[in-house]
Amino acid sequence: MDTARPPIYPGLAGKTVFITGGGSGIGAAFTQTFALQGARVAFVDIADEASRTLMGQIQKETGTAPLFIPCDVRDIAALQGAIEKVRLAFGDIGVLINNAGNDDRHTLEQVTPAYWDDRISVNLRHMFFAAQAVLPQMKRLAGGAIINLGSIIWRLKQTGLPVYNASKASITGLTRVLAREFGPFSIRVNTLSPGAVWTERQIKLWYSPEFEKEVMAGQCLKTRVLPNDVANMALFLASDAAEKCTAQDFIVDAGWS
C-alpha cells in the first residue's frame, strides 16, 4: 500500500464507516484512509490474516484499531448481522463502501449457471442488500453516502472475464436506481470505478511487463494508479465537499477509458 498522507475532511471525524472487503488491496486503502480521518471504521473480509495485520498497522498509526468482522458477503444473513453489530458498537452507519469483489479470470466457455450465480453474489448482489440494511440507519442520521465499487473494465470491452464485466456494468445501473430511491432522505449514492490499480494481488497474478505497456499506452497519464488514489476519491465522495454529487460514476484511471 502506498503511504502518502490523504487529504483531511474534518466532517468525516467520528462518522461510522462500513467497508466490505476492507482487509487488503483497495479495500485496505479505504480502511486506512478513513481511519486516518478519525472515523469509526468497521470492515468485513474473508482474508483473516491480512485483515488482522491491517488492524495492527492502523492501531500503531492512529492509536485505534478498526473493527474487523470476518464475513463472506455471499452470505447475506451474515452480512446483515455484521452491519447490525457495527451499529451496536459504533452507532448508525453514515458511510457505506461496497467494495468486496473478485476478478478471477474465466473464459466464456467455462461459465456454468452455478459459477455465474456465485460471481454475481461475490461482485454485485451484496451491494444491494448492504444498502438496504443501512437505509434505516442513514434515515435516522438524516443523510449518508454510499459508494459502490465499479470498474472501467466493461468500458474497455476486455475479454477473459465476462461475468465480472457484466457484474461491474450492472453496478452503474444499481447506483443510479438507489440514488433516486434514497435521494429524498439526503443519501447520496455513487459509483467509484478504478482503472488498473497496482495492488499486491494484481501485481502477483496479472500485471506483467507486457500488460503495463498496454496500460501506459492507453492512459493519458503515464503513471501507475495506486490504491490510495482510489481511496482519496472515496474520501471526497463521503465528505460534505461532495454533498451535491449523486447518481454518478467517478473514474480513477489516469485517463485510460
Report the catalytic residues. Answer: 164
In contact, 155 and 257? CB cutoff 8 Å: yes
- End-to-end Cα spacing for the chain: 24
Q: Please state, as a whole number, how many other Cβ atoms lie within 10 Å of the Cβ of residue 245.
A: 16
DSSP for 85-107? Answer: HHHHHH-SEEEEEE---------
Q: Provide the grid cell at 29.
A: 486503502
Strands (E) located in the chain = 16-20, 40-45, 67-70, 93-98, 144-149, 187-194, 249-252
How far is C-alpha 158 from the geometric centre of its chain's CA atoms?
A: 21
Q: Give the pairing of strands 187-194 and 67-70.
A: unpaired
Q: Provide the grid cell at 204.
A: 502477483
